[in-house]
Amino acid sequence: MFETRSSLILRLGPAANKTGWDETSWREFVATYHAFLYRKVLRWGVAIEDAKDLVQDILIKLPGLMPKFEPSRGKLRTLLQTVARNSVIDWLRLKQRGETSLDSDSQPVVCDTDFETRHRQHVLQTALETVRHGANELTWACFEYHVLRRLTAEEVALELGISSNAVYVNSSRILGRVREFCERFGETL
């Protein structure tokens, strides 16, 4: 994964002038993020023919959001993913009610609740994998056995040769990291 150049964010963000973005900055932005948005929309179950239109709708929304974006509060990709996710949810709702001008013959692959569930599962799975890679092996084992496999702290302590209190402390540390990761993506445990 790459970092967005600070200069591009500045040209598109709060420092951009009131008349809008310059064409060069906009083209660079679209060249950098169009494929990212397109893949996200397809992954979330939108048909190819509809995904192109939906990505265009997302790109149209961004000029109004970029001046409010503050790099100190999060990554640009997180903002883009949130905007894309919300756009897909809105699109699916409209499509289910038949209020969209998109092709009515193509049915969405997922409904809102399926999409929400899959999204939450994906965020949680990504959080678990990310935290696991950064955790001490013993600390992760405490969390895995006590929280994920639902063994008692005493059983885990006996298995790992540590105190029950250490199991609680280590499990709590990992759970806190997982919660923090999920909250960055707007999800709570």
Tell me the pLDDT tens digit for each residue of 10-65. Answer: 556 544 544 555 677 778 878 888 888 888 888 888 888 888 989 998 888 877 77
Return the structure tokens found at 4. Answer: 């967005």
Distance from the Cα of residue 20 to its chain's centroid: 27
| Separation CA 165–CA 142 (nearest Å) | 11
The answer to whether the predicted template modeling score (pTM) of the entire model surpasses 0.85 is no
Write out pLDDT tens, residues 70-125: 777 777 778 788 888 888 888 888 777 765 544 444 444 444 456 667 777 878 88
3-class state of residue 15 by DSSP: coil
Judge contact between 160 and 138, C-beta under 8 A. yes
Domains and CATH numbers, the chain: 1-107 (1.10.1740.10), 111-189 (1.10.10)
Please choose, from the candidates 111, 122, 25, the residue with its C-alpha nearest in 3D space to the C-alpha of residue 81. 122
| Separation CA 108–CA 155 (nearest Å) | 46
| Separation CA 146–CA 6 (nearest Å) | 43
